[in-house]
Structure 1
Amino acid sequence: MAPLFARLAACVLGLLPALTTAQSVFAHVIVGNTGAYDIDQWKSDIELAASYGIDGFVLNIAPPFSGSTATQMSYAFQAANDLTSELGFKMFFSFDYLGGGSPWSESDVITILKAYGPNGAHFQVNGKPMVSTFEGPSNSDINDWTTIRNSIPGGIYFVPDWTSLGPGGFSTSLVDGAFSWNMWPDGPQNISTGADEAWENFLKPAGKSYMMGVSPWFYTDLPAYNKAWVWRGDDMWYRRWEETLNVLPEFVEIVTWNDFGESHYIGPIYASGIPSASNADARPYVDGFPHQAWLATLPYQIAAYKHAYSSSHPAPSVPSGGDKIVFWYRTAPAGAGSTQATGNNCKSSINIYGYQSCYPVTEILEDAVFAIVLLSNPGTATIQIGSNAATTFQGLKSGINLISIPFSGRYGQVTVSVSSGAKATGPAIVTSPSGGVANFNAWVGCAGSC
């Protein structure tokens, strides 16, 4: 059964009209990590996501269109259809042009969209199936989409991620909108809305929509794929949602539900989905580092975004008994342990943002415990590290609050609490990581109505 706050939020959202054009929030799902799923597992994930206010999944698929990919697409849509009358949960595709070694063929894309576009569980905008990509901006790939669009009865609503081209790097006549993968800071500064505003300035005059990315974290160490870097995460799960209230995009895409190799998963950890190949083993930094507690803040954050976009949506509120504190941190200082990871993506062959300067990881990451506190009434919260004196945060407002304290040489278990009584303890912050190898992933926990 969904937690109290999630159930109440779902009830409120269930009273709203179906959203077919805007104010919808999706979670990005790597289908390649779902190879062991059956239909019941898809149902479990869908029910969990929907209980926290997520409207649908974006199914990232790499070629070829066969085997496990085809099977899992079938399972996903069957599961969503079985739950449609109850949840109204929808799907659409993100065709991954970098994940399969070769780009998608237009014939395979057409086959998939003809098969699933009319499906009752496929997300529609103005009666057209919404479609996205992960990159694929070469001239031949872009030209494919004119043929694809013309081959689908009634057309498509095309919102690609061509971030590497940047705003103005392609004609708006080719698309119905755009999604930007640029949702992490470049260097030690906090994320800003500058890139989002550039995309909106490019799209809005042409009447096109913008899908904004929201992500809580990014750390990867998969040398076989030339991936070993960290971007600043820290308070991103709070800050990026606050920025949706200023940008007001038509759509929001959470990155991701289950990309364990890049450490930005918010769904449950499934061992079968964690990369484990030689020289590409994410298990050392994923096992024992749950992120699912980040879901607990979503009903409030999604309601705030939808209300800011349109006042016809109820303003967010924390119901009585719904107080909680969601907290996260790395379990060792950034400078402790050996690593081949760089601060920023400055060496990888798949840098879609162009050149990035290298930074020491210690300049990218803050050694701190972060927490989002949701309160139905004004109150206080505390964070304590080990046997050190607890830090109490006074005067927190009803609604959402961000608090944090630095490690500053403090070690031991982390304990958090709120004045209404909720309390929880997380694993110890240690002077050096296990085995001496750095882990820049976050551990996430929750106390209260989670």
Structure 2
Amino acid sequence: MDRVADCFVAASRTRVPFWFFFSFDMSSIPSETKDDVHLLCSYLENFGQSERMLHYAHGLLVSTFAGERSSFQQPTLDSAWSFVKERLSSAIQSPIHYVPSLFIDPELYSKMKSLDGAFNWNGSWPLHLDSDSPRREIECPVLETDMNHITKPQRTWNKNWIYRGDDWLFVRRWEQLIAMRDQIDIVQIISWNDYGESHYIGPIKGAQPNSQAWVDGYPHDAWLKLTAYFSRAFKEGQYPLIDKDQIFAWARPHPRNAVATNDPVPRPNHANLTDDKLWVVVFAKTAATISMYGKGDVKVVDVRAGFTKLFRSLEPGDGIKVEMERNGIIVAECSPVEFKFEARPLVYNFNAFVTCS
């Protein structure tokens, strides 16, 4: 509760227009008895009247992760969450707009009167991929529903697996969402500081869940800058004009088939789904030439104004060096000295090193 209060205090000190909503993790919050609702109510009683709380449609927005096993001593799942909504509404004297991520058959959503919407958790990850998937589907996975997550749930918290994030997945998902923005009410990025799962987009700060070995030294802040651009395009319905030449690049620190020399944890599942490539996104004010350097060669590509997705293969010993040239002048360069593609890593690390010019 104290950390939540800190968030509202920090928000009160800025003029930046943003709002909070509560998403309760029902996989860890008790929800068997009627009295268990008091914990949820306490958060809204303390903060529900804040001007920084997000109101959507007809009420105060509330979400949950899971909750399909919550009963609150009610006879059905629908009546359980109707009970919670009524108690939350009474706590703050305001209607509740409840949009959870329930891991149930999506066909049941329309039959539940307690729901005001549904959040497609893991909706952008290509969870359905495996070693037998067609190469075309591995490289260009469709924007799936939650069905694969529902029918093939992870049965353990032992998270030694990877989801394929190659082929500029973060950018491509934004492009797909922008193209279908008229069908989507809200986009959630649920990866601000999930260091344990390696898909954070915020700075590396604060406590970690013993993930320092694969997180420290692997910044993702550049993805936050990409988020600013693409989220604006989603909200406004058109891509903003590029007013600054920039290069964004990311890569894993070692080949997918590398054998760690001193790691008690085995190579993660699905490691063979990823590729040994440097992924590059270029923001160019006008036409330019991009040079992507390897240890022994350089890949040169001409790009037009706007944003362009590029890649080059990585070999052991390669670093990251990408230049943008226009009229014989280097207008942007991305060349972090701290990155090197290692042939023989000490331990496995399939996290991305993300950088920008």
Name structure 2 gaps, 5 residues minimum.
131-137, 148-155
Match of 1:266 in 2: 201
Change (3 A) 1:172 1:419: farther
Q: Deviations over 1:156-176 (max 9, x none)?
A: 1111011x2142133342211
CA gap of 1:410–1:382, structure 2 versus 1, over 3 A, is farther
For the pair 1:366 / 2:305, whether they are aligned, the reply is: no
Task: Choose the corresponding residue for 1:439, options 343, 346, 349.
Answer: 349
Q: Does 1:243 align with 2:176?
A: yes
> Hey, what does 2:241 align to over in structure 1?
317
Q: Tell me by how many angstroms 1:247 deviates.
A: 3.0
1:389 Cα deviation (Å)?
A: 1.2
Q: Could you tell me which residue of structure 2 aligns to residue 337 of structure 1?
A: 259
Measure, in 2, the Cα distance between the counterparts of 1:243 and 1:297: 15
Secondary structure of the residue aligned to 2:160 is strand
CA separation in 2, counterparts of 1:375 and 1:139? 50
Aligned to 1:304: 233
The number of residue pairs the alignment matches comes to 314
- Structure 1: distance between partners of 2:6 and 2:286: 43
RMSD, aligned CA: 2.2
Contact 2:31 2:71 in 1 (8 A): no
Secondary structure in structure 2 of the residue aligned to 1:87: coil
> Is residue 317 of structure 2 the alignment partner of residue 411 of structure 1?
yes
| Aligned-partner residue type, residue 241 of structure 2 | S
Residue 288 (1) aligns with residue 217 (2): yes
- 8 Å Cα contact 2:99/2:117 also seen in 1: yes
Distance 1:254 1:325 in 2: 22
> Which residue in the other structure is 2:53 paired with?
122
Q: Does 1:430 align with 2:352?
A: no
> 1:296, 1:175 → 2: CA distance?
34
Residues 1:401 and 2:340 aligned together: no
Cross-structure match for 1:212: none
Task: For residue 173 of structure 1, give the secondary structure of its aligned residue in structure 2.
Answer: coil
Q: 1:367: Cα distance to partner?
A: 0.8
Q: Please identify, of 323-332 and 171-180, the stretch whose mean Cα deviation from structure 2 is larger.
A: 171-180
1:385 offset after TM fit, Å? 2.2
Counterpart residue type for residue 16 of structure 2: L
Match of 2:9 in 1: 78
Contact between 1:160 and 1:177, CA under 8 Å: does it hold in 2? yes
Out of 103, 107, 117, the residue aligned to residue 177 of structure 1 is 117
Cα deviations by residue, 1:412-434 (Å, 9 ceiling, x for unpaired): 2210111252112131111121x
More strand by share: 1
Percent identical across equivalent pairs? 28
Partner of residue 33, structure 1:
none
Shift of 1:127: 5.4
Partner of 2:292: 383
Q: Which moved more, 1:261-270 or 1:411-420?
A: 411-420
Q: Secondary structure at the match of 1:192?
A: coil
Between the aligned partners of 2:316 and 2:259, the Cα distance in structure 1 is 17
1:303 shift after superposition: 2.1
Moved over 6 A (4+): none
Q: Secondary structure at the match of 1:94?
A: strand
Where does residue 148 of structure 1 map in the other structure? 84
Q: Distance in 2 between matches of 1:81 and 1:121?
A: 8
Match of 2:300 among 384, 392, 396: 392
Are the equivalent residues in 1 in contact too, given 2:292–2:321 (CA < 8 A)? yes
Give the deviation of 1:80 after TM superposition. Answer: 1.1
Corresponding position: 1:194 with 2:139: no
> Which of structures 1 and 2 has the bigger CA Rg?
2
Is residue 62–residue 99 contact of structure 2 (8 Å, CA) maintained in 1?
A: yes
TM-score under structure 1 length normalisation = 0.66
Q: Distance in 1 between matches of 2:259 and 2:207?
A: 26
Contact 2:101 2:119 in 1 (8 A): yes
What pairs up with 1:33-52 in 2 under 5 angstroms? none
Q: Is the 8 A contact 1:292 1:444 kept in 2?
A: yes
Q: 1:52-131 residue pairs with structure 2 within 5 A?
A: 70-83=1-14, 86-99=15-28, 102-103=30-31, 105-126=36-57, 128-131=59-62
Decide whether the 8 Å contact of 1:130 with 1:157 is kept in 2: yes
Counterparts of 2:254 and 2:31, CA distance in 1: 40
1:160 matched to 2:100? The reply is: yes
Alignment check: 8 A CA contact 1:260 1:273 kept = no
User: Which ranges of structure 1 fall in alignment gaps of 5 or more residues?
Assistant: 1-69, 199-223, 277-281, 309-313, 344-358
With normalisation by structure 2, the TM-score equals 0.82
